[in-house]
């Protein structure tokens, strides 16, 4: 009956910083700007489980429109695991998601637990890593997005993003693409966007995500360009195994798998173009 003592409430912005410190302790290597940017995605979608004034569990349930949500950033303090607090928090988050299709990136060892609460596994997302090594290139098709991005440009990128993500996330995307010390590259062919990439600074090195492109050649050009200026730093890309071209690209880049998650959904695979997804945005937000 210890679950009854748990108070579940919305997380404050400051407490999200704490949650990401927990994530760092778990080895997740969060981005330097993740706390503020995650919170923008859905300020009401972050929760803590509190026991007599002490936070013992954290988790998110970010809603994107009326049809899709993504749960992540789920951590129970090590000394409080196995007491039912995590399940109580998870049930609360799913209630917040309502009738939406809910996705997660679940750790491999807990897949059966997630299945018991309604999730079904579909494929793995594998974290690939290497030391950045830029190959000099001159590609006129690539432009660097600056912080003064116009609403027209943002809308164009958002429309491309919608081919690869199950819902509109324009508000989050603008902040994500223009974050401090980040890099956003856009690839155009015949005047139309045919790929884009975001690189963000992390506690260790840099993560690339999303990396969406019409084909592997464009994705490879973008990924190579993203390594310019950070040679020798750790480069991380989270690759969906259900796009064989994405896996092949990571392997051509001599990247090594360091761990994996299982992408799971409550109501089936969303109708998106998986062949254009060469790197997901984050394990936490989808």
* Bridge pairing between strands 142-144 and 277-279: unpaired
The set of residues, in sequence order, having a beta carbon less than 8 Å from that of 174 and lying 6+ positions away, is 149, 154
What are the residues facing 143 on neighbouring strands? 186
Residue where a domain stops, chosen among 123, 152, 177: 123
What is the span of the domain harbouring residue 14?
2-123
Q: At what angle do helices 244-252 and 216-225 cross, to 10 degrees?
A: 40
Looking at the structure, tell me whether residues 166 and 243 fall in a common domain: yes
Looking at the structure, tell me whether residues 222 and 141 fall in a common domain: yes
- Going by pLDDT thresholds of 50, 70 and 90, the confidence category of residue 139 is confident
Domain with 85 in it: what CATH number? 3.40.630.30
* Bridge pairing between strands 234-240 and 206-213: parallel
Rounded to two decimals, what is the model's pTM? Answer: 0.95
Nearest CA-CA partner of 104 in 71, 61, 78, 82: 71
* Residue 286 forms part of a structural domain: no
Distance CA 129, CA 52 (A): 41
* Least confident stretch, 140-154, 169-183, 233-247: 140-154
* Residue 74 forms part of a structural domain: yes
- Going by pLDDT thresholds of 50, 70 and 90, the confidence category of residue 5 is confident
Torsions phi, psi for 2 (to 5 deg): -60, -25
* Residue 209 forms part of a structural domain: yes
Domain with 150 in it: what CATH number? 3.40.630.90
Looking at the structure, tell me whether residues 159 and 196 fall in a common domain: yes
Looking at the structure, tell me whether residues 170 and 99 fall in a common domain: no
Looking at the structure, tell me whether residues 132 and 274 fall in a common domain: yes
* Residue 161 forms part of a structural domain: yes
Looking at the structure, tell me whether residues 47 and 155 fall in a common domain: no
Looking at the structure, tell me whether residues 156 and 262 fall in a common domain: yes
Looking at the structure, tell me whether residues 133 and 216 fall in a common domain: yes
Residue where a domain stops, chosen among 71, 100, 123: 123
In the predicted model, what is the mean pLDDT of residues 139-165? 91
Looking at the structure, tell me whether residues 24 and 87 fall in a common domain: yes
Nearest CA-CA partner of 19 in 6, 7, 35: 35
* Residue 20 forms part of a structural domain: yes
- Going by pLDDT thresholds of 50, 70 and 90, the confidence category of residue 1 is very low
Torsions phi, psi for 222 (to 5 deg): -65, -45
Question: What is the number of domains present in the chain?
Answer: 2
* Residue 284 forms part of a structural domain: no
Distance CA 14, CA 73 (A): 15
pLDDT score of 138 more than 90? no
Residue where a domain stops, chosen among 97, 123, 149: 123
Looking at the structure, tell me whether residues 98 and 136 fall in a common domain: no
What are the residues facing 126 on neighbouring strands? 239, 260
**CA separation (Å) from 123 to 151, 167, 183, 276, 277?**
35, 20, 28, 16, 13
User: Is 45 in a helix, a strand, or coil?
Assistant: coil
Looking at the structure, tell me whether residues 141 and 69 fall in a common domain: no
In the predicted model, what is the mean pLDDT of residues 242-269? 97
The pLDDT, as a whole number, for residue 3 is 46
The pLDDT, as a whole number, for residue 247 is 98
* Residue 86 forms part of a structural domain: yes
Looking at the structure, tell me whether residues 114 and 152 fall in a common domain: no
In the predicted model, what is the mean pLDDT of residues 87-101? 96
């Amino acid at each position: 009956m210890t679950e009854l003592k748990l108070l579940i409430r919305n997380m404050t912005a400051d407490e999200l910083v704490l949650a990401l410190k927990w994530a760092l302790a778990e080895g997740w290597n969060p981005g330097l700007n993740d706390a503020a940017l995650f919170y923008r995605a859905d300020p009401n979608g972050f929760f803590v489980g509190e026991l007599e004034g002490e936070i013992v569990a954290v988790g998110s349930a970010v809603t994107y429109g009326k049809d899709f949500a993504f749960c992540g950033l789920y951590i129970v303090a090590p000394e409080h695991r196995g007491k039912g607090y995590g399940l109580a928090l998870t049930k609360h988050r799913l209630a917040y998601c309502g009738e939406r299709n809910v996705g997660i990136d679940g750790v491999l060892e807990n897949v059966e637990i997630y299945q018991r609460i309604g999730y079904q596994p579909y494929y793995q997302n594998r974290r690939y890593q290497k030391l950045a090594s830029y190959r000099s290139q001159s590609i006129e098709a690539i432009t660097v997005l600056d912080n003064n991005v116009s609403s027209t440009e943002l809308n164009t990128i958002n429309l491309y993003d919608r081919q690869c993500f199950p819902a509109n996330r324009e508000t989050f995307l603008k902040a994500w693409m223009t974050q401090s010390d980040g890099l956003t590259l856009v690839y155009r062919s015949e005047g139309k966007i045919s790929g884009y990439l975001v690189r963000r600074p992390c506690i260790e090195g840099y993560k690339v995500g999303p990396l969406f492109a019409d084909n592997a050649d464009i994705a490879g050009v973008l990924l190579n360009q993203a390594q310019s200026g950070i040679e020798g730093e750790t480069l991380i890309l989270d690759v969906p195994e259900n796009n064989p071209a994405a896996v092949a690209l990571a392997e051509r880049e001599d990247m090594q798998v360091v761990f994996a998650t299982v992408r799971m959904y409550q109501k089936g695979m969303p109708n998106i173009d998986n062949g254009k997804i060469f790197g997901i945005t984050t394990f936490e937000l989808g």
